[in-house]
Chain A
Amino acid sequence: MNKPMRRVGIAMITMVVLLLANITYIQVVKADQYRTDSRNQRVLLDQYSRQRGSIVSQFDGQVLADVTETDDKLRFLRRYANGPMYAPVTGYYSVRYGSGGLERAEDDILNGEDPRLLVRRLSDMITGRDPRGGNVQLTINPAVQSALYNSMTSKGYTGAAVAMNPKTGEILAMVSTPSYDPNALASHDGDDQQQAWSRFSDDPKNPMLNRAISETYPPGSTFKLLIAAAELENGATADTPVSNAPNVKLPGTNVTLENYGGEVCPGTTFKDALAHSCNVPFATFAGQLGADKLRQTAANFGLGAPLSIPMNVVPSSLGDLDSQAALYQSGIGQRDVRLTPLQDLMLSATIANGGMAMKPQLIKKLLAPDLSDLQSFSPQELTGTPALSPQNAAVLRDMMLASEANTKGGGKRGNIQIASKTGTAEHGTDPKATPPHAWYTAFAPAADPQIAVAVIVESGGNRGLEATGGTVAAEIGRAAINAQLGGG
Chain B
Amino acid sequence: MSQPPLPDPAAAVYASNPPRELPTRRGTELAMLGFAAFIVTCAFVLVQANQEQELSWSIVWYGLAYLGLFAIAHAAVRRWAAYADPLILPSVALLNGLGLVMIYRIDLAMAERATKASRDFTAAAPKQVLFTALALALFLAVLIMVRDHRTLSRYGYTAGLIGMVALALPALLPSSLSEVNGAKVWLKLPGLSIQPAEFSKILLMIFFASFLVAKRDLFMIAGRKVLGVELPRARDLGPLLIAAAVCLLVLVFEKDLGTSLLIFGIVLVMLYVATERAIWVVTGLAFFVVGCLIAYQLFTHVEQRVANWIDPLATYSNQGGGYQIAQGLFGLGTGGVGGTGLGAGRPDIVPEANTDFITAGLGEELGFIGLAAILMIYLLLATRGMRSALAVRDTFGKLLGCGLSFAIVMQVFVIVGGVTKLIPMTGITTPFLSYGGSSLLANYILVALLLRISDAARRPAQRARPKQPPQQAPLAEANTVMVNRPPAGGNQAGEPTA
Which residues of A line the B interface, CB within 8 A?
1-9, 11-13, 15-16, 18-20, 22-24, 26-28, 30-35, 37, 39-43, 45, 72-73, 188-191
Contacts and interface: CB of A to CB of B under 8 A. Distances in A.
Interface string B109-140: 10010001100000000000000000000000
A28 B421 contact: no
Nearest to B112: A73
Contact of A3 (B276, B335, B376): B276
Contacts of A190: 117
Given A40-B334, A43-B334, 13 more contacts: A1-B274, A1-B399, A4-B276, A5-B273, A12-B382, A15-B412, A16-B375, A26-B420, A30-B333, A35-B334, A42-B345, A42-B349, A45-B346
Contacts of A37: 313, 326, 330, 333
A191 B117 contact: yes
A5 B116 contact: no
B57 to A, nearest CB: 21
B116 A188 contact: yes
Most A CB atoms within 10 A — which of B272, B334, B390, B412?
A: B334
A20 B416 CA distance: 10
For the complex of A and B, the 5 pairs showing the least CB-CB separation, nearest first, are A34-B333, A40-B330, A27-B368, A12-B409, A22-B422
A43 B349 CA distance: 12
A2 B116 CA distance: 58
B333 A26 contact: yes
B375 A34 contact: no
Interface string B386-415: 100110000100110010011001101100
Interface of B: 109, 112, 116-117, 269, 272-274, 276, 313, 316, 326, 329-337, 345-346, 349, 363, 367-368, 371-372, 375-376, 378-379, 382-383, 386, 389-390, 395, 398-399, 402, 405-406, 409-410, 412-413, 416-417, 420-422
5 contacts: A5-B386, A9-B390, A27-B336, A35-B336, A190-B117
Contacts of B398: 1-2, 5
Contact of B336 (A3, A9, A28, A41): A28
A12 B335 contact: no
A8 B273 contact: yes
A23 B379 contact: no
Nearest to B389: A5
B422 to A, nearest CB: 4
Nearest to A15: B413
Contacts of B422: 18-19, 22
Nearest to A30: B333
Contact of A12 (B313, B316, B367, B379): B379
A15 B410 CA distance: 8
B326 A39 contact: yes
B329 A9 contact: no
A267 B190 CA distance: 96
Contacts of B390: 2, 5-6, 9
B391 to A, nearest CB: 9
B421 A22 contact: yes
B190 to A, nearest CB: 35
Nearest to A34: B333
Given A12-B406, A20-B375, A188-B116, A4 B333 contact: no
A6 B273 CA distance: 9
B116 A27 contact: no
A450 B173 CA distance: 83
Given A42-B330, A42-B334, A1 B273 contact: yes
Contact of B363 (A1, A13, A27): A27
Nearest to A45: B346
A8 B336 contact: no
